Amino acid sequence: MEVIDVIISGMINGSVYALMAVGLTLVYGVSKVFNFAYGSFYSLGGYLAFSILSFKIFGGYVTVLVLAVPALLLFGYVVERAIVAPLRRWSSWEVKVMMLTLGLALLMDNLFQITYGARVKSLPVIVEGSLTVGPVIVSWQDIAIFVLSVSGMFAFRWVLNNTWVGLAVQAVAQNPNGAQIVGIPRDKIFAATFAISTVMVGLGGILLSQKYFVSPNQGWDILVKAWVITAFGGMGSIRGSLYAAFIMGMLEAFVGWMFGLTWVQFALFGVLLATLAIRPQGLMGKWG
Amino acid sequence: MDGKRRILIMAVVFGLVALLPIFFGGSKVIMHILIMCLIWSVVASCWDLIMGFAGIFSFGQVAFFVIGAYASAIFSLRLGVPPIISTFLAGAVAAAVGVLVALPCLRLKGAYVALVTFAVHMILAPFLKSNMGRAIGTGGAQGLLTIPPISLFGYTFQNAEPIPFFYLTLVVAVICSLIIILVIMSHWGTAFLTLKDSEDFARALGVSALRYKLMVFALTSFLTGMIGGFYGHYVGMLSTRMLGIDLFVTLMIMLVIGGVGQYPGAVLGAFFTVTINEMLAPVGSYRPLILGAMVLILVLALPDGVVGLIRSLFNLGGRGARAGGRMK
């Protein structure tokens, strides 16, 4: 029953990719920021979990989530306010933001390397053991990752639809100037969006690092994956990213299973080119 | 800044550089740095042409450089093409790849172009290392060694003899710079300025965005690939380590220092950055850290680069100053 294992693996990776791609598309949709350091934020999540767990404190991953989510939120907010926001008043600031975040990524990756060393670090699993249903064996860890990332998505949906910040984010996404006119602090919302996306990708880092370890330069792979998913789903479309993430998770699992892991990157690239050639706005995106 | 002033600045810069071997000719290290400065000045100028003037957010500049380097090395190693011809073939290969990449993404908005070109960069290293890459002679993970040096009229430019190679590089760099200046001064330059300021208006005037952008993509990837091939024959070995993110950021620093769309700025930025980069060699593993921090500081402190800073200090006018200046 290897096929079922592949499908399960695709579902689990897809759920985490969904979390990360939605964060990315949110930032781009709201503030037009192309964040090259997104992959390094992923590593940051992994290293945060590693550091917190290395103290062997009470609570394990519960403590990690309690500590890491506010830390990531704060980190994202400060990064946006301190280094991205000042660029907005310059012309062609988009390209300057790209350059800046590329520099930030290099800086962060090397800080990780100096602090934690170049060798990969492994995180303990959330729960041990596995569940056997007939011929299929699923580890509880995989189930936990899936449940956590899906609840992360629901939490995000709740924030977006039921809190003042979430509604303000939607307003700014629809019309930044209009939002400002009705008294929404646009710049703070840009920063809040960035902070939320940092939490989402950082959570992705915490969840996936148990399966794939933590290393200083791993983020680039995640950056490209998240961007490809976002482009495939449609830039700025949250629902599109969600579907695209699961499709890409499946595609990745099947290509890796049938042709080997090297082909996964080529397959992702092929999907990207095909999407842009046939339907440039992505699955559910719209221009603008 | 008009074309004449650009040519004047370039003539002064290259004239001064041409005199440097008189003072430093004895030091192989300094000559090597100068050759690297010239090579990277071409790459940075091409990037400035495509990003600063044409307004295309191409992040595949290092990828085209590496494609050119590998192509030229493979032509000369496998097919026995003389290096002086294979560098041009490498340019053609890079240009072909450039057009292939440009075709799907030029109809798209800025960030998508950055995504696709950066994806090309990210996928190049796995490709060169894979079995497919090995089949066309990239040497896999080990890379290529023993790339033959360039010979011209029976003279072989060995990298142990830096002074002749330096002047060869200077000639190539001057030719490339002239081409770039001519493009900026020609109606291409005007078309790009119009396209960047208002694409709809430019289209209404009958300026074909796609055609001009494809041509500039082809031209810059040709020049970049050619100078990449040139680089390969100079250093004699290649590996996929060049595709690491630190080289990419180093190239970006050249543009950040020089200022995007402030043309001779990129050349000055390249000289600056290569020299600083070589001076940072003793700090070893901290070098990328310092480079990353430099980007943050420079982008925040000098949004128009050193050239923009100098210009605003002396309040020199010209359209370039406004193109990169503060909004509203």
Q: Choose the mutation target among A94, A99, A279 for the interface with B, i.e. most B CBs under 10 Å.
A: A99
Distance between CA atoms of residues B50 and B255, nearest Å: 12
Residue B317 has pLDDT above 80, yes or no: no
ipTM of this model?
0.83
Residues of chain A with pLDDT under 70: 1, 285-288
Can you give the pLDDT at residue A1?
65
Q: Do B286 and A100 touch (CB under 8 A)?
A: no
B-chain residues near A104 (CB < 8 A): 292, 295-296
Q: Choose the mutation target among B58, B103, B109, B115 for the interface with A, i.e. most A CBs under 10 Å.
A: B115
Can you give the pLDDT at residue B2?
67
Q: Do A265 and B246 touch (CB under 8 A)?
A: no
Kind and range of the H or E run holding A130: strand A130-133
- Find the range with the poorest average confidence among A104-118, B178-192, B288-302, B305-319: B305-319
- Three-class SS string for chain B? CCHHHHHHHHHHHHHHHHHHHHHHCCCHHHHHHHHHHHHHHHHHHHHHHHHHHCCCCCCCHHHHHHHHHHHHHHHHHHCCCCHHHHHHHHHHHHHHHHHHHHHHHCCCCHHHHHHHHHHHHHHHHHHHHCHHHHHCCCCHHHCECCCCCEEECCEEECCCCHHHHHHHHHHHHHHHHHHHHHHHHCHHHHHHHHHHHCHHHHHHCCCCHHHHHHHHHHHHHHHHHHHHHHHHHHHCCECHHHHCHHHHHHHHHHHHHHCCCCCHHHHHHHHHHHHHHHHCHHHHHHHHHHHHHHHHHHHHHCCCHHHHHHHHHHCCCCHHHHHCCECC
B-chain residues near A83 (CB < 8 A): 296, 300
Q: Do B130 and A262 touch (CB under 8 A)?
A: yes
Q: What is the pLDDT of residues A60-118, one digit of tens each?
A: 788 888 889 999 999 999 999 999 988 888 877 888 888 899 899 999 999 999 888 88
Q: How far is A242 from chain B (nearest CA, A)?
A: 19
Can you give the pLDDT at residue B91?
92
What's the sign of the alpha-carbon dihedral A68, A73, A76, A82? negative
The one-letter code for the residue type at B153 is: F
> Nearest Cβ partner of B292 from A96, A107, A287?
A107
Can you give the pLDDT at residue A287?
45
Q: How far is B232 from chain A (nearest CA, A)?
A: 26
Mean pLDDT value across chain B:
82
Q: How far is B16 from chain A (nearest CA, A)?
A: 31
> What crossing angle do the helices spanning A219-233 and A93-116 adopt, rounded to 10°?
140
Can you give the pLDDT at residue B139?
76
Q: What is the pLDDT of residues B39-52, one digit of tens each?
A: 999 999 999 888 88
Can you give the pLDDT at residue B323?
43
Percent of chain A with pLDDT over 90: 26
Q: Choose the mutation target among B58, B105, B254, B289 for the interface with A, i.e. most A CBs under 10 Å.
A: B289
A-chain residues near B115 (CB < 8 A): 34, 227-228, 231, 272
Q: What is the pLDDT of residues B67-98, one digit of tens each?
A: 999 999 898 888 888 888 899 999 999 999 99
Which residues of chain A from 267 to 286 reach within 8 Å of chain B, CB to CB?
269, 272-273, 276-277, 280
Can you give the pLDDT at residue B222?
93
In B, minimum Cα distance to A89 occurs at B327
User: What is this structure's pTM?
Assistant: 0.87
B-chain residues near A109 (CB < 8 A): 245, 288, 292
Q: Choose the mutation target among B113, B122, B197 for the interface with A, i.e. most A CBs under 10 Å.
A: B122
Asked if A259 has any chain B CB less than 8 Å from its own CB, the reply is no
Q: How far is B83 from chain A (nearest CA, A)?
A: 31
A-chain residues near B286 (CB < 8 A): 110, 114
Q: What is the pLDDT of residues B11-67, one digit of tens each?
A: 888 888 888 877 777 777 888 888 889 999 999 999 988 888 888 888 889 999 999
Q: Do B327 and A106 touch (CB under 8 A)?
A: no
Q: Do B292 and A220 touch (CB under 8 A)?
A: no
Residue B4 has pLDDT above 80, yes or no: no
Q: How far is B98 from chain A (nearest CA, A)?
A: 14
Structural domain spans, chain B:
3-236
Average pLDDT over residues B116-125: 87
A-chain residues near B322 (CB < 8 A): none
Structural domain spans, chain A:
2-217
Which residues of chain A from 225 to 254 reach within 8 Å of chain B, CB to CB?
227-228, 231, 235
Q: How many CA atoms lie within 13 A of B3 on its CB side?
A: 13
Q: What is the pLDDT of residues B191-243, one digit of tens each?
A: 887 877 777 887 788 777 788 888 888 999 999 999 999 898 888 888 888 88
Q: How many CB pairs under 8 A join A and B?
A: 133
Q: How far is B126 from chain A (nearest CA, A)?
A: 7
> Nearest Cβ partner of A276 from B112, B246, B291?
B112
Can you give the pLDDT at residue B315?
65
B-chain residues near A227 (CB < 8 A): 115, 119
Q: Choose the mutation target among A28, A30, A88, A92 for the interface with B, i.e. most B CBs under 10 Å.
A: A92
Can you give the pLDDT at residue B327?
40
Q: How far is A100 from chain B (nearest CA, A)?
A: 6
Residue B290 has pLDDT above 60, yes or no: yes
